[in-house]
A and B are shown apart, each in its own frame.
Chain A
């Protein structure tokens, strides 16, 4: 059974940093592209970043470029999101999601339950 379990969320002050993790199991992790998708309270889905199986292809939404860094450790079946210079508008539930086989452009066929990030002083 495919499982994606996020961790690392919490309350953080504006300008500070936070690192999210996603532990994957139930599938061959290094066969798939992975993503972070967020959802602000009461709002819609927003894709944040995606990374190909070998970290060769990485993309970000414009609003986080230069502040967030996605990475993965295939040996540990884990996905990460390093978030620096956090802003109030980064407050959201952050989901880890797997792309269908075929790269970062493929839709998301499995999602975690999310980890909540709150940016506030």
Chain B
């Protein structure tokens, strides 16, 4: 059972927009920044969003992040076939003194 809760799967057609939610608590998302990772099949995870809504160099503006209270959301616009991947949210949990992840969300581009 993951500390952060994500939907197991989401899907949308190419060109459409999709959002992925991440729910936590006052000891993790409520107190700390949220990051998002993309894991393409058979590859290592890649940092997509950090500090709730910042994009590392090279990440397209189609990817966005937001946070409100104890929840966070990843948004992807202009969906492409290459966006099919597993997406994970992560943050620091102050009570656990540990990095924590969500269980992951599989994005299918129909």
Contact = CB atoms under 8 A, between A and B. Distances in A.
Size class of B's contact patch? 20 to 34
A61 B86 CA distance: 22
B104 A111 contact: no
A46 B45 contact: no
Interface in A87-119: 95, 100, 104-109, 111-114
B66 to A, nearest CB: 16
Residue of A45, A46, A62, A104 with most chain B CB atoms under a 10 A cut-off: A45
A114 B44 contact: yes
Size class of A's contact patch? 20 to 34
A64 B2 CA distance: 16
A61 B98 contact: yes
B103 A59 contact: no
Nearest to B56: A109
Given A45-B88, A105-B32, A111 B46 contact: yes
A59 B44 contact: no
Interface string B22-64: 0000000000110101010000111100100000100000000
B81 interface: no
A44 interface: yes
A44 B44 contact: no
Contacts of B37: 45, 108
A109 B47 contact: yes
Contacts of B46: 111
Contacts of A60: 98
A108 B45 contact: yes
A112 B45 CA distance: 9
Contacts of A37: 45, 99
7 contacts: A45-B37, A45-B45, A45-B90, A47-B100, A61-B98, A62-B98, A100-B50
Across the A-B interface, the 10 shortest Cβ-Cβ residue pairs: A107-B35, A47-B99, A111-B44, A44-B104, A105-B92, A45-B101, A107-B50, A44-B103, A109-B47, A59-B97
